Amino acid sequence: MQLKKTLNFIDIFSLASGAMISSGIFILPGIAHSKAGPAVFISYFIAGLLAMTGALSLAELSTAMPKAGGDYFFITRGLGPAIGTIAGILSWFSLSVKSSFALTGTSIFLSKYLDINTFYIGLFFCLLFITLNIIGIKEASSFQVTLVIILFILMSSYIIFGFPHIKRENIFPLAPYGILPIFSTAGLVFVSYGGLLKITSVAEEVKNPSKTIPWGLLFSLFIVSILYTLIVIVTTGILSNIILDNSLTPINDAAKIFGGNLWDFLISMAALLAFISTANAGIMAASRYPLALSRDKMIPEIFSKTNKRFKTPHFSILLTGIVTVIFLLTNVEILAKVASSTLILTYILANSTLIVIRESKMMNYKPKFKSPLFPYLQIAGIIGFIFILFEMGSFVFLLTSILIIFSLSFYIFYGRIKVNREFALLYLLERITTKNYTNHLLQEELREIIRERDQIEIDRFDTVVENSKTFDIKGKYHFEDLFDLISSTTSSILGIEKEKIKENLLIREKESPTTLSNFVAIPHLLLEGKGKFEIFFFRVKEGAVFPNEEGIKMVVVIACTRDERNFHLKSLAAIAQMVSSKKFEKEWLQARNENELKEVILLTERRRIKKSE
């Protein structure tokens, strides 16, 4: 069952922004400042730049494959099910941890006003968000939009009113601990940009994903990066080093200095809104990973079931909620580090996936948005991410290694037994080695994704093409020799003698030229009986010489009975529309085999034939 497409640009922008603005800015600046000094704002900026490389890759992949599961789905199709399973579990874990982190922040701030155990506060909100997400993603996302609007107003006000109170002595010296801690701290605060993954995980539920996803994702990252940098500068400039290094509520402490209890209260409310929006968005997005893993049979199928009433993956949401509750009992700082490191690994895999898919030259990889500066931006991002991972220390490296081993073991002992999937890396190997490693199943899957994305309705011509035969002919031919080859190829399929087919083709050609342009010719065979319609596609890459054209690269033979004349004319119109496309000729000549030739025909834009016509 397909998920409802209800999310628009505002929803996507709010989902990503609300997921990013959370504990990363309200809790981590004090911890980060103790490691990097006043230059901590540079750490946030570096983390944002690196996130941009991953965001551009994710944006492109999302417009090509807008499916639930986001980066897991892309990476599985790019690097294979083993790496995809690792990515899916890592992303699910990271988003669940981030949600738990946000709920912990909610509990800490509310405990200032309520005499209730922090765990029970977190549990209450977790159950609330589970319910909201089961009821429906649109209802949950509407709640998200309201939260983000209020949050932006409060945080912008903090910057405006706090800026005049910055003290120079709190900013300088800028990097008292040296340069390297700035980079390791960028790794610590990278969790602040984890909200970007939430967009890709709900891509299947986005209206007009080709435009909505890249613009919503990139605009959100741009705005939030500026907001982070300015907030950290203001906070660092207001608080002394001693106070800031030991604070778990640095924004509140700074606001109280220049605005008193009123601003302390307002920032507390802003923080609560941020934590709530992050937890809500995190549960929403994280739950789509078990859904995608289950669809691919990597985990039990129960997690791919959707609620009949609300059309949401309720079992997947419940599983995510349970894991989030368990994480409420763990150490916050360690979880922040692990969440950041798993996010970094995910971005490394996303950049690698884009490189592999692009270089595989798969015919049906058709993103509506393309990352600029490819592949240099992706390579630079991978190098930067690896450098930061090593700078974060051996403890983080050990924990992430354990998670990777666990994920890989899960695939080996469960997923591998049930799944044998094609992926882009195999297509890349085919391109490099000229050996066959695939059955073109991934190309077919991408075709169906494009049809769903572009809302293409399958008509009779599509069905005929899917069942047709496509041939790639080597060498240059005169039309009479070509007709001889066509007759030999189609004789057994049509049940007609070879000589009779060739004779009819020659007679038709002499009566009237069959060339539609200097690229395509469409000979016609009249069959006996009723209700018969066959079509054959031939590529003559080196060209075929017809009476009035010498460079024909595509020959389409239509064989049908008289009662199919109406559909014959509609098929001619469909072919004429296809070959008039600017991209068609290039893609037809670049196709590497007969399967790709058929995919070019099926996915070239044209007006679909309505049943009523």
What is the dihedral angle through the alpha carbons of 222, 226, 227, 231, rounded to the nearest 10 degrees?
160
Q: Tell me: do 379 and 527 sit in the same domain.
A: no
Domain CATH code at residue 541 = 3.40.930.10
- Alpha carbons 275 and 77: distance in angstroms, whole number: 33
Note whether residue 438 is domain-resident: no
Instruction: Write down which residue in 387, 418, 449 finishes a domain.
Output: 418
Is residue 193 helix, strand or coil? helix
- Alpha carbons 113 and 314: distance in angstroms, whole number: 33
The DSSP result for 360-389, as a single string, is HT-TT---SS--TTTTHHHHHHHHHHHHHH
pLDDT tens figures, 18-71: 778 888 899 889 999 999 999 999 999 999 999 999 999 988 998 898 876 678
- Alpha carbons 322 and 303: distance in angstroms, whole number: 14
The neighbour count for residue 68, using CB atoms within 10 Å, is 24
Q: Provide the angle, in degrees to the nearest 10, between the axes of the packed helices 71-79 and 332-360.
A: 50
pLDDT tens figures, 534-549: 999 999 999 999 998 8
Note whether residue 121 is domain-resident: yes
pLDDT tens figures, 161-202: 999 999 999 999 999 999 999 999 999 999 888 777 667 666
Q: Contact 559/494 with Cβ under 8 angstroms?
A: yes
Confidence check: pLDDT of 139 > 60: no
Containing H/E element for 552? strand 549-560
Percent of the chain with pLDDT over 70: 95
Residue type, 328: L
Strand partners, 555: 521, 538
Instruction: Write down which residue in 418, 447, 477 finishes a domain.
Output: 418
The neighbour count for residue 559, using CB atoms within 10 Å, is 22
Q: Tell me: do 83 and 167 sit in the same domain.
A: yes
| Interstrand relation of 549-560 and 533-546 (parallel, antiparallel or unpaired) | antiparallel
pLDDT tens figures, 446-500: 999 999 888 888 999 999 999 999 999 999 999 999 999 999 999 999 999 999 9
Nearest to 65 by CA among 92, 84, 52, 89: 84
Strand partners, 7: 206
Least confident of 70-74, 79-83, 158-162: 70-74
Q: Contact 386/345 with Cβ under 8 angstroms?
A: no
**How many CA atoms are closer than 13 Å to the CA of 279, on its beta-carbon side?**
33
Q: What is the pLDDT of residue 201?
A: 63
Least confident of 198-202, 500-504, 551-555: 198-202
Q: What is the pLDDT of residue 310?
A: 76
| Confidence category of residue 132, pLDDT binned at 50, 70, 90 | confident
Percent of the chain with pLDDT over 90: 51
Note whether residue 312 is domain-resident: yes
Q: Tell me: do 403 and 480 sit in the same domain.
A: no
Distance of CA 590 to the CA centre of its chain: 26
Q: What is the pLDDT of residue 2?
A: 55
Q: What is the pLDDT of residue 566?
A: 94
| Confidence category of residue 313, pLDDT binned at 50, 70, 90 | confident
Q: Tell me: do 180 and 294 sit in the same domain.
A: yes
Q: Tell me: do 530 and 411 sit in the same domain.
A: no
Confidence check: pLDDT of 138 > 80: no
Q: Tell me: do 378 and 490 sit in the same domain.
A: no
Note whether residue 343 is domain-resident: yes
Confidence check: pLDDT of 147 > 90: no
Task: State which of 396-400, 401-405, 413-417 shows the largest mean pLDDT.
Answer: 401-405
Confidence check: pLDDT of 276 > 70: yes
Confidence check: pLDDT of 608 > 70: yes
Note whether residue 437 is domain-resident: no
Instruction: Write down which residue in 391, 418, 445 finishes a domain.
Output: 418
Task: State which of 290-294, 330-334, 353-357, 390-394 shows the largest mean pLDDT.
Answer: 353-357
| Confidence category of residue 358, pLDDT binned at 50, 70, 90 | very high
Q: Tell me: do 557 and 408 sit in the same domain.
A: no
Q: Tell me: do 187 and 280 sit in the same domain.
A: yes
Q: Contact 206/212 with Cβ under 8 angstroms?
A: yes
Sequence-ordered alpha helix ranges (H) in 111-179:
118-135, 137-162, 168-171
- Alpha carbons 484 and 501: distance in angstroms, whole number: 9
Distance of CA 355 to the CA centre of its chain: 14
Task: State which of 12-16, 121-125, 148-152 shows the largest mean pLDDT.
Answer: 121-125
| Confidence category of residue 354, pLDDT binned at 50, 70, 90 | very high
Note whether residue 39 is domain-resident: yes
| Confidence category of residue 552, pLDDT binned at 50, 70, 90 | very high
Print the domain residue range for 152.
9-418
Confidence check: pLDDT of 205 > 90: no
Mean predicted confidence (pLDDT) in 557-584: 93
- How many structural domains does the chain have? 2
Note whether residue 101 is domain-resident: yes
Confidence check: pLDDT of 15 > 90: no
Mean predicted confidence (pLDDT) in 371-393: 92
Q: Tell me: do 525 and 378 sit in the same domain.
A: no
Q: What is the pLDDT of residue 222?
A: 93
Pairwise pLDDT comparison (41 vs 100), residue with the higher score: 41
Q: Tell me: do 329 and 387 sit in the same domain.
A: yes
Q: Tell me: do 380 and 518 sit in the same domain.
A: no
Domain CATH code at residue 343 = 1.20.1740.10
- Alpha carbons 541 and 358: distance in angstroms, whole number: 24
Confidence check: pLDDT of 4 > 70: no
- Please provide the average confidence, as pLDDT, over all residues in the chain: 88
Pairwise pLDDT comparison (135 vs 597), residue with the higher score: 597
Note whether residue 53 is domain-resident: yes
Nearest to 438 by CA among 454, 422, 453, 451: 422
Instruction: Indicate the pTM of the whole model.
Output: 0.84
In this structure, what are the phi and psi dihedrals at residue 477, rounded to the nearest 5 degrees?
A: -130, 145
- Alpha carbons 43 and 188: distance in angstroms, whole number: 9
- Provide the 8-state DSSP code for 518: S
How far is CA 34 from each of CA 59, 63, 82, 206, 340, rounded to the nearest angstrom? 34, 40, 39, 41, 18
Q: Tell me: do 138 and 279 sit in the same domain.
A: yes
Is residue 478 helix, strand or coil? strand
Q: What is the pLDDT of residue 68?
A: 64
Q: Contact 62/199 with Cβ under 8 angstroms?
A: yes
